[in-house]
Chain A
Amino acid sequence: AQSVAQPEDQVNVAEGNPLTVKCTYSVSGNPYLFWYVQYPNRGLQFLLKYITGDNLVKGSYGFEAEFNKSQTSFHLKKPSALVSDSALYFCAVRELSGGYNKLIFGAGTRLAVHP
């Protein structure tokens, strides 16, 4: 079965500093990886995904993620954090079941950006 792990329960960053939210995966076959963000009391918003091609994927709100096959990682990054980036971030992996997609989510990492 596919799985992802988010080893950090919370990440604290000062505004203007670079941020990294970690994700590692375990899959059989090619990984299809996603990042979502959830603001308080809201649904999940899609940020970016890796399917194939360049290992550096760019997404919404200035976020990017680096796919590293040898380390089985897909860390989310942003060069300069904003206070408004404070939210809950989920890494997910696609699992193909019955011929269509399901997403298996990590436990989530809470990002707190301090002024």
Chain B
Amino acid sequence: SQTIHQWPATLVQPVGSPLSLECTVEGTSNPNLYWYRQAAGRGLQLLFYSVGIGQISSEVPQNLSASRPQDRQFILSSKKLLLSDSGFYLCAWSVRKESSGNTIYFGEGSWLTVV
């Protein structure tokens, strides 16, 4: 079965420091990968998605970047964190095969607090 791992689970970082959140998927190949952010315990915003190694699309301009160095690894980064980057970050995956009904599965999330 497929599993998705995301770490660290909790992170407290000072303003201006770098960020690296990692996500890996097991039990599948060539997945689509996603980073979402959830602010204030409610709405979910898609930040990045990827259909393959080195292929990253950004949904919104921001202080963050994403990379996919390996097929099942997705990394969310920042060179200098802002207070507004605080939130709950969720990695997710779906099967690559193009099907409108493909379910997107989420990791357990990473809490980022920028102080």
- Encode contact with B along A52-66: 1 for CB under 8 Å, 0 otherwise: 100000000000000
With A41-B111, A94-B100 already in contact, the answer to whether A100 and B42 are too (CB < 8 A) is no
With A41-B111, A88-B41, A107-B43 already in contact, the answer to whether A46 and B103 are too (CB < 8 A) is yes
Contact B51 A98 (CB under 8 A): yes
Given the complex, which residues of A lie within 8 Å of B100, measured CB to CB?
Answer: 30, 32, 51, 94, 96, 101
| A108→B57 CA distance, assembly (Å) | 25
Given the complex, which residues of A lie within 8 Å of B107, measured CB to CB?
Answer: 43
Q: Which residue of A lies closest to B95 (CB)?
A: A101
B83 in the interface, Cβ–Cβ < 8 Å?
A: no
For residue A104, give the distance in angstroms from its CB to the closest CB of chain B: 8
Which B residues contact A (CB, under 8 angstroms)?
6, 32, 34, 41-44, 46, 49, 51, 57, 90, 92, 94, 96, 98, 100-109, 111
